[in-house]
Amino acid sequence: MVLLSLVATHSNVDLETVARLSVGAPQVPSAVLADDRPVSGAVVLSTCNRFEIYFEAPSEEDVEAARSAIISTISSYSGIPEPSVSSAFVTKKGGSVAKHLFAVGAGLDSAVVGEREIAGQVRRALIEAQASGAASKGLVRLFQAASRTAKDVGARTVLGSDGRSIVSVALELAGDISGSADWSQKSVVLFGTGAYAGATMALLNEKKAGEVAVFSSSGRAETFVASRGGRALDSDSLTGAIREADVIIGCSGSDARIEATDLASIREGSSSPLVVIDLALSHDFDPAVANLDNVELITLESVRLAAPEEQAETLRQAGELVQQAADDFEEQQNTRAMDAAIVALRKHTQQVLDAEMKRVRSQHGCTAAAEEVELALRRMVRQLLHTPTVRARELAAEGRQDDYTAALEALYGIDLRPAAEAEAPAAPSRPALHPAGVPHPAGSGDPAQCPVSHEPPAAASA
């Protein structure tokens, strides 16, 4: 299996493109897996400033076809031509996939470096993919490792210890623009009831905002405020709340965008300043509201530019933890991929041993002498397999598993290509071991077929 990812974030494309690519994001994994395509699993990570899809291809030969399938699916949902979709993404493969996701989960790739919200979004992305049946075993391991790395970075560095997030920086900006950090006198209208709206409400409560009214075009405002506080708005009360608001915050990303002309009409005759915070990737507000009198607009780009920089030493420590975690994950992947080769070599050797023991028994019967021959051969096979097994692990750690499998094919004629199509289990089960340490043959060596005791002599076991 080959891990890949397609990455489009605030650092390589504009947020408008990210928003367009994200259309239909929840349906992409299932759609890709529904057809007979060379994709073994897929997980989408879609946030306010990134759209990333992680997927597995069965083999190196399937990589390009798998990527094309993902691009085609995203194009069909977003309406963006395939060449444009392809050029918007940065493609990562192998070890760089884990390193990038681990950095993302730890907050190192965020607009607000060190923000902790992204760790929860990484966890939710995996949960959603598992619920739809789109997450392969390899992707589950990848995302679980990313969550562990995020916890490790949080525990071993001061990154994110101030609790900074996109929402917190936006509210700090709003306080600076209004000339007062005292939220107790501010009237706020909040659009949306999702994760960002919840985080925003939590911070507004911490700041003891004077009044917070919540509107949801989906009708979930009543349920939202019941557990978080605030006042629910409907279509009739929304206009009045906007007219009296000091701050309006958009977190919904709905299609019902507030146009500049509508906001100007609602606020006509009001001389009080208004701060509009638009945290929705697809924009809850017409960007032209920034041109209205007495209106200041804060966008995701504003937040990115205003986000404080973390100390260089903290970033270095976090980066080292991420790199080490990515290296460990890659080593584990290589070792797991080598399991099939080790099992194939053992199976090949076992077949040779079985054939030889069949010949011995056909000449000497099931005798004590035949038993001693079998014990001796098994000890020899165990010793002969020791070095190739250890070397397999060493080469896997160096990322040279292809050298090992090529050697098996050249020396023994063992073809691992069919085995590579099936993912090796995380902890491969072993057949029952003979006392000498080599799997017991299912045929003539079975104790049920030979009355001679298989226990080695006491002196041999000492």
pLDDT tens sequence across 267-299: 998 888 999 999 887 788 999 999 999 999 999
Q: Given pLDDT bands bounded at 50, 70 and 90, which one contains residue 447?
A: very low
Average pLDDT, the chain: 83
- Residue 450 appears among annotated catalytic residues: no
Residues 147 and 176 in one domain: no
Q: Are 322 and 106 in contact (CB under 8 A)?
A: yes
Distance separating alpha carbons of residues 193 and 224, to the nearest angstrom: 6
In a domain? residue 319: no
List beta partners, residue 278.
250
Query: Looking at the chain, how many residues does it have?
Result: 462
Distance separating alpha carbons of residues 305 and 278, to the nearest angstrom: 15
Distance separating alpha carbons of residues 333 and 340, to the nearest angstrom: 12
Domain final residue, candidates 276, 306, 336? 306
Residues 133 and 174 in one domain: no
Vertex 355: Cα angle to 353 and 360 (nearest 5): 90
Residues 97 and 218 in one domain: no
Three-state secondary structure call for residue 422 = coil
Q: Are strands 274-278 and 247-250 parallel, antiparallel or unpaired?
A: parallel
Q: Which of 48, 251, 366, 450 is catalytic?
A: 48
* Domain of residue 73, CATH code: 3.30.460.30
Residues 109 and 90 in one domain: yes
In a domain? residue 314: no
The two three-digit tokens of residue 87, written as one number: 């050029």
In a domain? residue 263: yes
In a domain? residue 57: yes
Residues 44 and 137 in one domain: yes
Instruction: Please report which residue ranges of 157-299 form alpha helices under DSSP H.
Output: 166-178, 195-206, 221-228, 235-244, 260-266
pTM over 0.85: no
Residues 150 and 170 in one domain: no
Q: Is 331 exposed, middle or buried (0-12, 13-18, 19+ CB in 10 A)?
A: middle
Q: Which domain holds residue 206?
A: 166-306
Distance separating alpha carbons of residues 100 and 322, to the nearest angstrom: 9
Q: Are strands 274-278 and 295-298 parallel, antiparallel or unpaired?
A: parallel
* Domain of residue 301, CATH code: 3.40.50.720
Residues 283 and 367 in one domain: no
Residues 122 and 183 in one domain: no
In a domain? residue 311: no
Helical pair 137-156 and 312-364, crossing angle rounded to 10 deg? 140
pLDDT at 68 over 50: yes
The dihedral through the CA atoms of 239, 245, 248, 252 has a sign that is negative
In a domain? residue 186: yes
Residues 60 and 184 in one domain: no
Three-state secondary structure call for residue 292 = coil
Return the pLDDT at 294: 92
In a domain? residue 312: no
The two three-digit tokens of residue 78, written as one number: 């977003």
The number of domains in the chain is 3
Residues 224 and 258 in one domain: yes
Each residue's pLDDT tens digit, 131-164: 999 999 999 999 999 999 999 999 998 887 767 7
Binding-site residue numbers for NADP(+) are 192-197
Instruction: Please report which residue ranges of 25-165 form alpha helices under DSSP H.
Output: 28-34, 63-78, 82-88, 95-105, 117-132, 137-156
In a domain? residue 317: no
Each residue's pLDDT tens digit, 383-405: 877 787 777 767 766 667 667 77
Return the pLDDT at 420: 41
Return the pLDDT at 158: 84
Domain final residue, candidates 306, 340, 357? 306
Each residue's pLDDT tens digit, 74-99: 999 999 999 999 999 999 998 899 99
Q: Are 291 and 263 in contact (CB under 8 A)?
A: no
Q: Please report which helix (H) or strand (E) contains residue 6, including its range.
A: strand 2-9
- Report the chain's terminal Cα–Cα distance, integer Å: 44
Residues 71 and 126 in one domain: yes
Residues 145 and 215 in one domain: no
Domain final residue, candidates 103, 135, 156? 156
